[in-house]
């Protein structure tokens, strides 16, 4: 069964550093998403991406966040200057009549 692949599975970074979380969506899917889950809380929508541009973003997705699809396969989430409160599990998803999530990247900001 096709999978959404996320790397790394766990990343530790110092506050103020930039991080890039990587995702390889399912190849024939057209819509891509990032969600996050702070420990013990519910999963929250961050951003959706279609046709090489952001189609919707939440209020969480402020100027320190950006997304990119640099080539035909990768989909990245960049956090420019990490804060302690960015510590969370970040999930990538792709969608085409079926939503598939990756296994997540646990980001720890210290």
The site for other proteins (CB under 8 A) is made up of 30-31, 33, 35, 41-45, 48, 50, 55-56, 91, 95-104, 106
Angstrom CA distances, 20 to 13, 41, 54, stand at: 11, 23, 17
> CA–CA separation, 30 vs 50, rounded Å?
6
The residues that bridge with 95 in the sheet, in sequence order, are: 31, 99
C-beta of 29 vs 82, nearer to other proteins: 29
Q: Provide the minimum distance between the beta carbon of 42 and other proteins in the complex, in angstroms, as a whole number.
A: 5
C-beta of 13 vs 100, nearer to other proteins: 100
Tokens at residue 77, please?
A: 């989430």
Q: Provide the minimum distance between the beta carbon of 90 and other proteins in the complex, in angstroms, as a whole number.
A: 11
> CA–CA separation, 30 vs 22, rounded Å?
17
Q: Provide the minimum distance between the beta carbon of 47 and other proteins in the complex, in angstroms, as a whole number.
A: 9
C-beta of 81 vs 96, nearer to other proteins: 96
């Amino acid at each position: 069964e096709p999978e959404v692949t996320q790397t790394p599975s766990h990343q530790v970074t110092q506050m103020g550093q930039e991080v890039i979380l990587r995702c390889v969506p399912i190849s024939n899917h057209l819509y891509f998403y990032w969600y996050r889950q702070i420990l013990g809380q519910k999963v929250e929508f961050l951003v959706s991406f279609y046709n090489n541009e952001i189609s919707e973003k939440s209020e969480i997705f402020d100027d320190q966040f950006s997304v990119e699809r640099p080539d035909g396969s990768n989909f990245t989430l960049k956090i420019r200057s990490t804060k302690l409160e960015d510590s969370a599990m970040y999930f990538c998803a792709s969608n085409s009549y079926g939503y598939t999530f990756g296994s997540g990247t646990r980001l720890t900001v210290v």
